[in-house]
């Protein structure tokens, strides 16, 4: 019996994906485990395997298609002896309730549309976002004669007013893009907050180039808007003296064994020490190593620490699991491996989902101080600035030391201010006295 091959859910949060590449074609015989296609999710490009054997009877979704919903048919698998005619129909049933709503909308909207068509050309035009279009009387007359919709014309006059030359250069039927619906955690607007206009409505046509959103950029926008809107952030900042850490790092790197090619077996970074210090501090402060749910706070037994990796096409936070049990060299090597996979979009969901805490470090770019947005379901993230020489007071004397600023963003539903302050105090101690992490 012919069956539909469905778009897989390759991660718990995946709702749709891009069918990046078909690795089979119609007529191919496949077995369980055969790689059928490459699916691009919001975080990575992953291979999709067949679970049954048979012949690819028909490909329903073309290679390169975006926005393919999870569990929607993408191909038809035939059993031996079957033809493509046996393929099950792809139904697009509309629930009765939805049909009733659609009919009601048509009844409500249709008269208004007809009235709009019958309205005189002299009526003021409206932009796609509902605002009035400002145009000179001559421009309006020319637009009416040529059948041009003024809402689709960019004005070059004072304050964006549409003038004669704008209309003469416009093509009949030209229209600007409609304002995009505001994004939020639930897909709709934020109650009581006016939606932002589509930026394309504010710039003259031809003055910009559009780069369509890929799945990763859409996911980043959705998650960060949701996190910043729904999570009550607060921020704590502390300065850490790096003199002792830099000295230990230098000694450890100098002691790294070298192979035949004289390349050191490892090269520790300051961030490796910060990852380890964060893990140790989390184990001492379990109230920070926690996640919020509507019915309970989840306190994690291990310190699973994420590290933000900047990519050319977005941002992802792979996780060092059970970081409290791993040494600096192991953490360093694992971070490098995960960062490499991230840049190739080959991370698996179990390598970046979950975690209890994250580290975002922009020190390598010379950034002194910044704040980060919490990465749910985590409740805290630290933003690490550059280590720089600063004057500090020691025993009543001014000396020069290497100092780094760390700012923690915390979810106030989970971590109270005093709890967050104690955690940062412990983190500072581990960073300033690296040997204490061994105790």
The H or E element spanning position 361 is strand 357-361
Which tokens go with 304? 């699973």
Q: Cis ω on the peptide bond leading into residue 377 (within 30° of 0)? A: yes
Q: What is the predicted pLDDT for the residue at 367?
A: 96
Bridge partners of 46? 39
Q: Which CATH number fits domain 3-86: 2.160.10.10, 3.30.2350.10, 3.20.20.70, 2.40.50.100?
A: 2.40.50.100
319 or 94: which leads in pLDDT: 319
Q: Which CATH class name applies to 231-438?
A: alpha beta
Q: Is the pLDDT of residue 278 over 80?
A: yes
Closest by CA to 220, choosing from 17, 381, 43, 40, is: 43
- The DSSP 8-state label assigned to residue 101 in this structure reads H
Q: Tens digit of pLDDT for each residue in 71-85?
A: 899 999 888 777 666
Q: Tens digit of pLDDT for each residue in 221-255?
A: 888 899 999 999 999 999 999 999 999 999 999 99
Q: Which CATH number fits domain 118-202: 3.20.20.10, 3.90.550.10, 3.40.50.300, 4.10.320.10?
A: 4.10.320.10
Q: What is the predicted pLDDT for the residue at 185?
A: 38
Whether 56 and 25 have beta carbons less than 8 Å apart is answered as yes
- The model's pTM: 0.64
Per-residue pLDDT, averaged over 170-188, amounts to: 47
Residue range(s) in the chain whose domain bears CATH number 2.40.50.100: 3-86
Whether 389 and 400 have beta carbons less than 8 Å apart is answered as yes
Whether 151 and 175 have beta carbons less than 8 Å apart is answered as yes
Residue range(s) in the chain whose domain bears CATH number 4.10.320.10: 118-202
Q: What is the predicted pLDDT for the residue at 145?
A: 75
> What's the distance, CA 348 to chain centroid?
15
Residue range(s) in the chain whose domain bears CATH number 3.30.559.10: 231-438
Provide the annotated active-site residues.
Answer: 412
């Amino acid at each position: 019996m012919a069956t539909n091959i469905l778009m897989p859910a390759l991660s718990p949060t995946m709702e749709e994906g891009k069918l990046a590449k078909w690795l089979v074609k119609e007529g191919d015989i496949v077995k369980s485990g055969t790689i059928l296609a490459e699916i691009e999710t919001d975080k990575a490009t992953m291979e999709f395997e067949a679970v049954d054997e048979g012949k690819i009877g028909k490909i329903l979704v073309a290679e390169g298609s975006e926005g393919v919903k999870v569990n929607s048919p993408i191909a038809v698998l035939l059993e031996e002896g079957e033809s493509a005619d046996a393929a099950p129909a792809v139904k697009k049933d509309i629930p009765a309730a939805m049909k009733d709503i659609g009919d009601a909308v048509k009844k409500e909207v249709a008269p208004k549309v007809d009235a709009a068509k019958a309205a005189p050309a002299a009526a003021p035009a409206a932009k796609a976002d509902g605002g009035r279009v400002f145009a000179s009387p001559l421009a309006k007359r020319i637009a009416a004669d040529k059948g041009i919709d003024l809402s689709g014309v960019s004005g070059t006059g004072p304050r964006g007013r549409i003038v004669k030359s704008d209309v003469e250069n416009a093509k009949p039927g030209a229209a600007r893009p409609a304002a995009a619906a505001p994004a939020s955690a639930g897909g709709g607007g934020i109650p009581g907050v006016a939606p932002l206009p589509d930026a394309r409505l504010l710039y003259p046509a031809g003055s910009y180039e559009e780069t369509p959103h890929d799945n990763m950029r859409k996911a980043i926008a959705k998650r960060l808007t949701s996190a910043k809107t729904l999570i009550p952030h607060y921020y704590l900042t502390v300065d850490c003296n790096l003199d002792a850490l830099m000295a230990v790092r230098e000694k450890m790197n100098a002691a790294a064994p070298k192979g035949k090619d004289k390349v050191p077996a490892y090269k520790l970074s300051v961030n490796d020490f910060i990852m380890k210090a964060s893990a140790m501090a989390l184990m001492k402060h379990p109230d920070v190593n926690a996640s919020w749910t509507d019915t309970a706070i989840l306190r994690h037994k291990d310190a699973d620490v994420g590290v933000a990796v900047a990519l050319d096409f977005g941002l992802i936070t792979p996780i060092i699991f059970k970081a409290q049990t791993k040494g600096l060299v192991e953490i360093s090597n694992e971070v490098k491996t995960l960062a490499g996979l991230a840049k190739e979009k080959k991370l698996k969901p179990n390598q970046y989902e979950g975690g209890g805490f994250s580290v975002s470090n922009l020190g390598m770019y010379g950034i002194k101080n910044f704040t980060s947005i919490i990465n749910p379901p985590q409740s805290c993230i630290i933003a690490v600035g550059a280590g720089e020489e600063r004057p500090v007071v020691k025993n009543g004397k001014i000396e020069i030391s290497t100092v780094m600023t760390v700012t923690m963003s915390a979810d106030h539903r989970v971590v109270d201010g005093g709890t967050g302050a104690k955690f940062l105090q412990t983190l500072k101690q581990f960073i300033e006295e690296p040997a204490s992490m061994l105790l």
